[in-house]
Structure 1
Amino acid sequence: MSTTTFSIDDRFQGFPGYALGGITGGLMAQRIGPEAEVTLHQPIRTGDELEMRTRDSTVELLFDGDTVATAKSTTIDVEIADTVLPESAMEASESYVGFHEHPYPSCFTCGTERSDGEGLRIFPGPVGTEAIVAGPWTPHPNQADSDGTVPLEYVWAAVDCPSIWAVMEAAPSECPDHVVTGRLAVRSEEPIRETEPHVVMAWPLERRSNTWPAAAAIVDADGRVKAVARHTLVLTDWGVPLSVSRTDD
């Protein structure tokens, strides 16, 4: 068994004061491989001292002796819709609801208060009449390793919020539900490199009694798939309000 102690910096927050699920998942997935699933058992505060334990094919994340997240290898069976190219993604992003109503504008992935290079600044908007959202993403050099490759935790972060916005777009008007990340699974197919244009696209899957799954993909300028994700959102009475995204208002 190998053990590492670390904390997640506040700049990687999703909810204020709490680590973005994609960042947490990507850090754990580094010990699993290119196709992994992370289950978040409770919110993780930024700055808290965490212990990551790897035993056989399972990774555990602990805080104060309690398991707060687990990761394992998986197989992601997601059917990708027609890929969205950069020009269409830029047009869709102009209708990003977060520009005028954002529940967490400091979010590392989709927050409008983050400057270029400080956050990912992925702003997904609806693509036509389809149940798809998409936004352009050109990784900043600040978000790459010394060889220009984007680290796995940023790839996971990039698919986190767009899949939530896809569910928000699909939710009925005045929906009272909120969602939080229950599980996030990502398959990284090809390296993503700094300064190269990409599109992050996402779409809702069939809603269930207490969860609303969604899928996402990162594609390059030619539509080649770089990563695929399956995001299981848990319906709760707190978290991201689904009523924020209202394209018909």
Structure 2
Amino acid sequence: MPAPATPEQARQAEERYEGAHDHPFPTCFSCGTARSPGDGLGLRPGPLDDGSGRYACTWTAPADVTRPMAWAALDCPGGWSAGIAGRPMVLGTMTAQVWRVPEPGEALVVTAWQRGAQGRRHWSASTLHAPDGELVGRAEATWVAVDPESVRPKEQP
């Protein structure tokens, strides 16, 4: 398992979030750019600038944080690390373990990396760490590339 990004590395990576300019699913709960502040997680996973291929972002657990929200925080960073930018993908499967629900207001770091690819299938992994380095959660996912036209909203007559 690669080392987790530091909070500073994650904040810098967020400035390189590819979804800020071209997001295949702008209303995504975890990383969508067309959601109102406070509606969704607001993740902005971007590539680290260390040549590792890892992606990272910060996440501050909301007041109503739940275990499913921690799962959601592990979700999209893996997709971005698998190469969703410029090639829409959907989540095929995700297996995760969350050892504890984050505390409300706790600042965490999500780190993700690609584990491989074959044809339309791409594999990624992600981790959720507390500021002291404690591993809070980990996930592995399979992403499937889709035809970009199949995910574009259709114009209404």
Q: 2: CA distance between counterparts of 1:155 and 1:219?
A: 11
Q: Partner letter of residue 190 of structure 1?
A: R
Q: Match of 1:197?
A: 107
Query: Do residues 167 (structure 1) and 82 (structure 2) align?
Result: yes
Q: Partner letter of residue 100 of structure 2?
A: E
Cα RMSD over matched residues? 2.1
Q: Whose Rg is larger?
A: 1
Instruction: State the shift of 1:208 in Å.
Output: 2.3
The higher-RCO structure (CA 8 Å, 6+ apart) is 2
Q: Match of 2:68?
A: 153
Deviation string for 1:69-126 (max 9, x for gaps)? Answer: xxxxxxxxxxx21111211100110111122222222211101222332110010011
Instruction: State the shift of 1:152 in Å.
Output: 1.9
Q: Does the 8 Å CA contact 1:156/1:186 hold for their aligned counterparts? A: yes
Q: Does the 8 Å CA contact 2:88/2:146 hold for their aligned counterparts? A: yes
Alignment of 1:135-150 (within 5 A): 135-141=57-63, 144=64, 150=65
The alignment partner of 2:142 has SS state of strand
Q: Match of 1:86?
A: 7
Q: Match of 2:96?
A: 186
CA, structure 1 residues 109+83, in 2 after alignment: closer, same or farther (shift >3 Å)? same
- How many equivalent pairs are there? 150
Deviation string for 1:2-23 (max 9, x for gaps)? Answer: xxxxxxxxxxxxxxxxxxxxxx
Instruction: State the shift of 1:154 in Å.
Output: 0.9
Moved more, 108-117 or 88-97: 108-117
Match of 1:206 among 116, 129, 142: 116
Q: 2: CA distance between counterparts of 1:155 and 1:217?
A: 10
TM-score by length of 1: 0.55
The alignment partner of 1:140 has SS state of coil
Q: Match of 1:235?
A: 145
Instruction: State the shift of 1:189 in Å.
Output: 1.7
Deviation string for 1:166-188 (max 9, x for gaps)? Answer: 0117x8xxx7x542221110011
Q: Does the 8 Å CA contact 1:185/1:230 hold for their aligned counterparts? A: yes
The alignment partner of 1:186 has SS state of strand
- Which ranges of structure 2 fall in alignment gaps of 5 or more residues? 153-157
Matched-pair identity in %:
34
TM-score by length of 2: 0.85
Q: Match of 2:155?
A: none
Instruction: State the shift of 1:210 in Å.
Output: 4.2
Q: Match of 1:44?
A: none
